[in-house]
Amino acid sequence: MLLAAAVPLLALAFAPSSSAGGDPVPAKNGHYVGVGDDQFRVSFFAHQRTVEDLYRTFPFPPGAPSQCSSGGKLAGSDDVNDKGRFRIDNSAADTEDSARGRFAAPTRVTGRYLYENSAICPGAYEYPYKARKFGPQGAQTTKAPAAAKRGTGSPRNGEYAGGSGTAAVWFNVVGGEVQLGRVRGLFPTCDSSLHVFDSDEPNDKGRFAIEYTLGGDTVKIKGRFTSRARVKGKAVWDQDDACPAGIHKFDYNARRFGPVG
């Protein structure tokens, strides 16, 4: 996993809500996937104005103690208030561990994840992020990936994120090459994620495939650039665990969020 120094911990501030007449800021149901500073990656679900099942992965700087965690699910949930804000907080006496967000639009969220653990991982870390809705909760898309448009050119460098109702997919494009992928798969009986350290350069039709094997699990991210900054594809996970065991396929849509940071 690429390691990068986190930004210093700063005071959290949100822009004022744009709702008019006291109406609650809308928050559409679905699976939200996004990225943040220093390779921070996030995925969560909104259901009837409750944000839940929030997954995050984040790097620690080189030299951090081996006990430091690099993410996972953040226990708990929170209701979205009338201003579109939520906060899932697992903080304890010596630990700050919270994800905050605001619905800037019915299908877009901006927020910050904050982490500080004075006992295990000295230092304070803050990761601003942006997320978008990529599918209804628990639904799997079945439409085949669209063909790449003619003349779209080489893919734009940057951080890409996307998903469906049952998966989240992240990867970077650097120098025209797809690399540093990750998949979160919501299997029938478990919720797992795995890095995909392989890299691949899209062919003249915009297609690529990256793959990684860890133990008995093999994950492949396949995709096709339908424009210079949008991708449709499939994540294939050969799972040997009781999730159940077998080959699981997840369709996804992804888009460029911004430059690699």
pLDDT digits (tens, 9 = 90+) for 125-158: 899 999 999 988 665 543 444 444 544 678 999 9
For 7, phi then psi, to 5°, come to -70, 155
45 C-beta neighbours (distance < 10 Å), count: 22
Name the helix (H) or strand (E) containing 222: strand 217-227
Q: Which residues pair with 114 in a beta bridge?
A: 98, 126
Task: Identify which of 64, 120, 60, 113 has the alpha carbon closest to the alpha carbon of residue 86.
Answer: 113
Q: Structural domain boundaries of the chain?
A: 30-134, 158-258
Per-residue pLDDT at 62 exceeds 70: no
For domain 158-258, the CATH superfamily is: Quinohemoprotein amine dehydrogenase alpha subunit, domain 2 (2.40.128.120)
* pLDDT in the model for residue 257: 97
Structure tokens at 205: 């039709």
CATH 2.40.160 is the classification of domain 30-134: yes
Q: Tell me whether domains 30-134 and 158-258 share a fold.
A: no
Mean pLDDT of the chain: 84
Cβ within 8 Å of residue 179, ≥6 positions away: 171, 172, 173, 198, 199, 200, 210
Per-residue pLDDT tens for 200-237? Answer: 999 999 999 999 999 889 999 999 999 999 999 999 99
